[in-house]
Every structure is written in C-alpha cells, then in structure tokens.
Amino acid sequence: MSFRRPPAVSFVALALAAGLTGGATAAPPSASAAAPDIDVDRVLGHLADLESIAAAHGGNRAHGRPGYAASLDHVQGLLDAAGYETHREPFTSGGATGWNLIAEWPYAATDEVLMAGAHLDSVRAGAGINDNGSGSAAILEVALAVAEADLRPGKQLRFGWWGAEELGLVGSRAHVAGLSAAERERFSAYLNFDMIGSPNAGYFVYDDDAAIEALFSDWFAERGIVTEPAVEARNRSDHAPFLSAGITVGGLFTGAGYTMTAAQAAQWGGTAGLPFDPCYHRVCDTLANLDETALDLNTDALAYAIWELS
C-alpha cells in the first residue's frame, strides 16, 4: 500500500502441475459450485518464493529494481502453466520501465468482467511480504484454484498484479487510463487486496459498494468475526483509479500503520496501542511479519467472492 496522505518453479507450482495433468478428466463445474477452501500453506509457499526473489535481488521487489522484474517473471510463469492468457502492460515512472501483469481465464459465458487485483511491488526498504506479497500471493493462489477447478464462470475472470503502486498507484492508473469507455462498461466489479496478513490484524472491508461490502461482511459474520469499514485504505490503493472511472469496487484489508484501539483488540484478539502492521514499509516486513490466520481467512473470503460474483 502506498503511503499518501489527502528462479526455478516452486514446489507449489510442481504440485499444481501434477494435479492439472494427472488422472481422469472430470466434468467442468458450473460457476455456482462452492468455492474451495484455499490451503494457506500454498499461499505461504508463494510468499516464500517472493521473499527468496527479493533476497537474491538486492533485498526488495521495488519498481525499477531487478526484484520486481523477477517477481513478475515468476508469477507469470505459474499462470501460463495453469492455462491463463497473460500479457504485460508497460509504463514508465521515475525514468524506469515498469509493468502490470494481466491474466485472463479463457472461459466465460459473457463478456462481462470480474477482476481481482493486488500490487506486486514492494518499497525499497525490504521484501514487502505483507505489503503486498500477501495480496499478490492470495490472488495468485485463487487464480490457480480457478484453473484446478476448471471453472466455467458466467463472467470473464481477470486478475491483475500492479506495478509502482508504492509510487502513487502508477500501474493501476495507467491501466485504467488505457481502458476505452466500452471496456469500462464491461466491468461488473474490481476487487482489491492490499495487505491481508497484517501481524496485528484487523478485519476491514471496503465500503464503496454496499452489496460487495455485505457479501464479505456476511461471510466473516458467519465465522464469528466482526468487520469494520476500511477507512485507512480509502484512496490509498489500486481500487482508487477504478472507482474514479465509475467502476464498482470492493476489497479486504487487515490494516497498515494505524493503531489498533482497545475496542478493536477486544473484538479481534490483537494488541491495543500497536499498529496493525508494525513493520509497515520497513525491512522487517518478512515472512515473520504475518498473521497466518488472517491470511487464511482473507484468502478464503477472496475465493468465495470470486465464485459468488462470477
């Protein structure tokens, strides 16, 4: 999340490839089939890959740095192997070329678009595992789950990994600016996932659209979890350009630099007086900087929304 006030194929990919190529072919499920329970260990595997990529490329995955390009190569390779149609969108910021990665699932009954996105870049201070490896890894695993299920949705499923978010939503702004009026009208919704594994986690839902907010809030309520509007995230992540273009948006968030209150700590079991992410934009944003329960729940909620809304 931007702070703006007003290698080789991983073990996860190998397991996925085995699941996609082995055994008898089952009849494809409809889009109304129940969403899968996403294995959080798979999401953590993607995060371990991103941390390793950062370590091998100067300690970060920031725009204009080799760690970002290597992260993009890695994610695109997994999606290509799973059957997605992928392409990169180049843009320039600060004198350096960056890219968004767009992945389309090639099956849909209509041309209406449901998109989920997350920014793939980190700040230069560190590997950016919660911000925003968490959102990037979660939508990657949900996209791979769509492929595993051989889903045949009613809507065109599109996934995006944005570049240079930390420099002012540069990649997502470029993407939206490049959409024609007709392309914008095809969107049913854009869902954003930026920081969903904060170590002192809150459970926040974007409140820009009442129906999508209720979809997420009801899902959490069924599990005994109270949600709050994602006030800290407003206009500070990649949903903002979509919202400004008149596209319906929603999303999830576990908090960044704001401080957890006593009331929030009581309802979520966190620590009052500390930030939701004490390592926000710091070198300590590593695999140790995660609440795995929050990451698991938010990824499952993400998958539920994709299955329900598609």
- Sequence letter at residue 225: I
Residue with tokens 């620590």: 271
Cα–Cα distance for residue pair 291/289, rounded to 1 Å:
7
Lookup: tokens for 60 = 């970060």
> Catalytic one among 165, 185, 213, 228?
165
Q: What is the DSSP letter of 289?
A: S
Q: Is 228 designated active site? A: no
- Sequence letter at residue 98: G
To the nearest 10 degrees (0 to 180), the angle between helices 292-309 and 210-221 is: 130
In b/e form, how buried is each residue of 41-50, taking b as 16+ CB within 10 angstroms? ebbbbbbbbb
Helix (H, G, I), strand (E, B) or coil at 212: helix
Cα–Cα distance for residue pair 229/227, rounded to 1 Å:
7
In b/e form, how buried is each residue of 293-309, taking b as 16+ CB within 10 angstroms? ebbbbbbbbbbbbbbeb
Residues with catalytic annotation?
Answer: 165
